Homo-oligomer: A and B are copies of this chain.
Amino acid sequence: MATIRDVAKKAGVSVATVSRVLNNKGYAHEDTRRLVNEAIKELNYKPNEVARSLYKKTSRLIGLLLPDIRNPFFPELARGVEDEMQAQGIHLIIGNADEKPKKEIDYIQTFKQNNVIGIISATNQAETSLYEDLSIPVVFLDRTTNSHPSVYSDGLDGGKIAAQEMIKRGSKRIALLRGPIEVRTAQDRFKGAVDELCNANVDFQVITSSFSFHDAEKMAKTLFERFPETDGIIASNDLSAAAILHEALRIGRSIPDDLQIIGYDDIPLSKLLFPPLSTIRQPAYDMGREAGKLLMNIINKKPLEQNYIQMPVTFIERQTTRKVEKNG
């Protein structure tokens, strides 16, 4: 790879001049500028980002920390972030924390060591101490906290809507899945649903389960064994809902007539399940973009309209819930 020295030599100027042309900073005669640009092109010179980064203590990289890249919800977020960053010429280092604090710490360290200019984190570490004295901007995504700006969707409302729609459609013995205790958004949607269920004339069970696929499969089995009379399930996410749906069909439950299911997230595959899954939609891609925008605004010290961006959730009616009379 050619260096700035090579360019300088070729153009017959000093490295300082090349640098100035490169960064459009300070004066440079039009002719000199052209000369330099020609040399750059001829040598196919690209500035060494590492050297740049060392001096400026900043880079064109941001770190994106995901809890589980295999859960389709997160790649969707990632795409949003990526597209937004791409538009601003910033690249991503994606880290998959795998729900393990150790990995998370590790990645944050790597991010710092590589001079990322900011971090977007979608992980579950309640102990924000990890992020406390980081000296670089952090935005939380799909997650709320008081200590940092964040982009998330309205979990309370989501849970509430799920419960309402479920009740409206006549389920009487409802199983409410509660996501991991350390995930704030999971607890929000849980609380939203609980409130609503308490106020209604229905029985309900609370079952705690992780967000992962594998756990959901096991959980589904036990659920139907222990509570065979359940006629409505509010899942903690679409992945769990899919596992439950699958198990329900396997043991011959009829959906939605005999059992209704509502998921959460609206991952791309939800509409391909059979029957297509009714769910609470989080605008994942848009959330990613917003987080990207927010972070860049912070980095560029633009005045912030808001530090906490709450995105709306919507009920997506598909076919794991019964139709409700138009004027019910």
Is the beta-carbon distance between A114 and B213 smaller than 8 angstroms?
no
Residues of B within 8 Å of A272, CB to CB, are 242-243, 245-246, 273
Known contacts A1-B112, A274-B246: A96-B70 contact under CB 8 Å: no
Choose, from A44-52, A146-154, A289-297, the stretch at the interface.
A44-52
Cα–Cα, bound, A53→B51 (Å): 9
Shortest distance between the CB of A301 and any CB in chain B (Å): 21
Closest to A270 in B: B269
Most chain B CB neighbours (cut-off 10 Å) among A46, A47, A72: A72
**A contacts with B: majority SS:** helix
A158 at interface (Cβ–Cβ under 8 A)? Answer: no
CB-CB contacts of A34-67 with B at 8 A, as 1s and 0s?
0000000000001111110110000111000000
**Chain B nearest CB: distance from A19 CB in Å?**
16
- Which A residues between 131 and 163 are near B, CB-CB below 8 angstroms? 135
- Asked whether A92 is an interface residue with its Cβ less than 8 Å from the other chain, the reply is yes
Contacts of A184 in B (CB 8 A): none
Q: Which residue of B lies closest to A91 (CB)?
A: B110
A282 CB, nearest partner CB in chain B, Å? 15
Residues of chain A in range 224-244 having any CB-CB distance to chain B below 8 Å: 242-243
Q: Are B92 and A61 in contact, CB atoms less than 8 angstroms apart?
A: no
Q: Is A95 an interface residue (CB 8 A)?
A: yes
Partner of A269, one of B69, B242, B249: B242
A interface vs B, CB < 8 Å?
Answer: 1, 46-51, 53-54, 59-61, 69-70, 72, 75-76, 78-79, 82, 86, 91-96, 103, 107, 109-110, 112-115, 135, 213, 242-243, 245-246, 249, 268-269, 271-276
Please provide the 7 A-B residue pairs with the shortest distance between their CB atoms, ordered closest to farther.
A274-B274, A49-B113, A94-B94, A242-B272, A69-B75, A93-B93, A50-B54
| Beyond known contacts A50-B115, A245-B272: 19 more, CB 8 A cutoff | A1-B135, A46-B109, A46-B113, A49-B110, A49-B113, A50-B53, A50-B114, A60-B110, A61-B114, A70-B72, A70-B75, A72-B269, A82-B96, A86-B103, A93-B94, A94-B94, A242-B269, A242-B272, A273-B274
